[in-house]
Amino acid sequence: MTQRQTWMNTLAKAELKQLEELVNKLGTLPGYSFLRSPEIGLAMVRGRAGGTGEPFNLGEITMTRCVVQLERRSDETIVGFGYVAGRSHRHAELAALCDALLQSPQWCDRIQAEVIQP
């Protein structure tokens, strides 16, 4: 898994309450706008009989996605994505915000240390 896949996995599986607390402890964050407001949809879950057999469609799962863009401070455009299981708009928003911040050189180390690692 790439580093980004690892942190997106961590953000998606985090408890909303804990993620909210950790992000709030960061203080003033850069502004951001929604490129895609949080929205609920479905995703197909695939399975394998015995974990090794032929893949089959197991069923659908409710998920929420969100896309944010950090306010520009230079020529770079930083876009963050959040995909979470369930119907939590706020969780998807925070995951997208953290994904964007983790791509920013000014915020990456701090978000890794204070949000992802705990």
pLDDT at 118: 84
- Tens-place pLDDT, residues 58-94: 999 999 999 999 997 777 899 999 999 999 999 999 9
Q: What is the mean pLDDT of residues 8-33?
A: 97
Phi and psi dihedrals of 5, rounded to 5? -60, -40
Statement: residue 51 has pLDDT above 90: no
pLDDT at 60: 98
How much is the pTM? 0.91
pLDDT at 58: 94
Partnered with residue 70 across adjacent β-strands are: 32
Residues 6+ apart with CB under 8 A from 1: 9
d(CA 75, CA 80): 17
d(CA 14, CA 106): 23
The token pair that represents 34 in the structure block: 């929604």
The token pair that represents 103 in the structure block: 């791509």
